[in-house]
């Protein structure tokens, strides 16, 4: 999730992937539970697999590792953020989520960040590090998160964690979906040769499904031209229908762009907030 140093956006992640059945919890290979939203069961579309996270991670690592040093100071697609800011954010996000998982594994809950102000200051500071230092720390953070995820046992996933002490809380089982969305969306935000058109289909499905859990001012439906299904957003029935490719719809639903490639039977696109 993008939160600029100057313009904070409230967190909107609401996904989990734990679900109970009469025979007990469903568990993915590697010990992590399958999914449940705060308000009910979810489909498999909102449960990123270990392979899906690994592919997104490896793709982003290739981009960052191959980025020329001079490009780190270049502008990203996020307001006021350079590519260095985006990479710094992804680094600190991986470290923060790894700390959350490690604490849960040890039975010692810990917040993701020390404070909102500290989080923003850390991003700003790390973004100005020399490219080699930033790149090395980013690569190390991906290993740190993968190791923490792999160490989790089934029982470790119970409970919640705070984004900052006294701040918003999330279920521990949110972590995998939170991280894969960070990886894929911010990879495109880097504006470094990877775009929403490069998102794998399983991520596009996951994104369109998971974004139904966000609040919207009015209801609407999206109908991808490249997928044989549609999604409804917002409370209540009806509302306009928005059409376009799944990646164009996903990009717009995160509050990015101006709806390029999309059409709607209402003449104007519905209002969505930035993610």
Which CATH number does the domain housing residue 183 bear?
A: 1.20.120.450
Is 0.85 topped by the overall pTM? no
**Residues 94 and 229 reside in one and the same domain:** no
**Residues 123 and 226 reside in one and the same domain:** no
Q: In this structure, what token pair is assigned to residue 86?
A: 């985006």
Q: Say if 236 falls within a structural domain.
A: yes
Domains: count for the chain: 2
Q: What 3-state DSSP class applies to 54?
A: helix
| Tens digits of residue pLDDT in 153-188 | 999 999 999 999 999 999 999 899 999 999 999 999
**Residues 125 and 162 reside in one and the same domain:** yes
**Residues 189 and 71 reside in one and the same domain:** yes
| Tens digits of residue pLDDT in 18-29 | 222 222 233 333
The vertex-91 CA angle with 85 and 97, nearest 5°, equals 130
What is the DSSP track for 93-156? HHHHHHHHHHHHHHT----SSS-HHHHHHHHHHHHTS-HHHHHHHHHHHHHHHHHHHHH--GGG
């Amino acid at each position: 999730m993008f939160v600029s140093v100057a313009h904070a956006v409230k967190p909107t992640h609401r996904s989990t992937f734990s679900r109970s059945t009469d025979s007990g919890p469903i568990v993915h290979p590697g010990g992590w539970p399958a999914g449940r939203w705060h308000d009910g069961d979810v489909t498999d579309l909102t449960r990123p697999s270990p392979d899906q996270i690994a592919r997104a991670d490896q793709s982003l690592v290739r981009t960052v590792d191959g980025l020329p040093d001079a490009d780190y100071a270049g502008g990203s697609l996020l307001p006021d953020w350079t590519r260095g800011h985006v990479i710094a954010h992804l680094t600190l996000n991986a470290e923060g989520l790894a700390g959350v998982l490690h604490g849960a594994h040890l039975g010692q809950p810990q917040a993701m960040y020390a404070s909102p102000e500290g989080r923003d200051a850390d991003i700003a500071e790390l973004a100005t590090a020399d490219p080699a230092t930033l790149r090395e720390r980013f690569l190390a953070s991906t290993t740190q998160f993968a190791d923490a995820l792999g160490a989790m046992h089934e029982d470790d996933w119970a409970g919640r964690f705070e984004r900052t002490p006294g701040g918003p809380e999330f279920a521990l089982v949110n972590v995998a979906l939170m991280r894969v969305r960070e990886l894929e969306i911010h990879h495109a935000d880097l504006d470094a040769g990877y775009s929403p058109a490069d998102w794998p289909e399983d991520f596009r499905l996951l994104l369109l499904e998971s974004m139904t859990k966000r609040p919207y001012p009015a209801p609407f439906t999206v109908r991808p031209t490249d997928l044989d299904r549609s999604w409804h957003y917002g409370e209540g029935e009806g509302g306009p229908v928005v059409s376009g490719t799944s990646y164009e719809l996903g990009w717009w639903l995160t509050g990015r762009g101006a709806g390029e490639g999309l059409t709607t039977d209402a003449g104007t696109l519905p209002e969505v907030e930035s993610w």
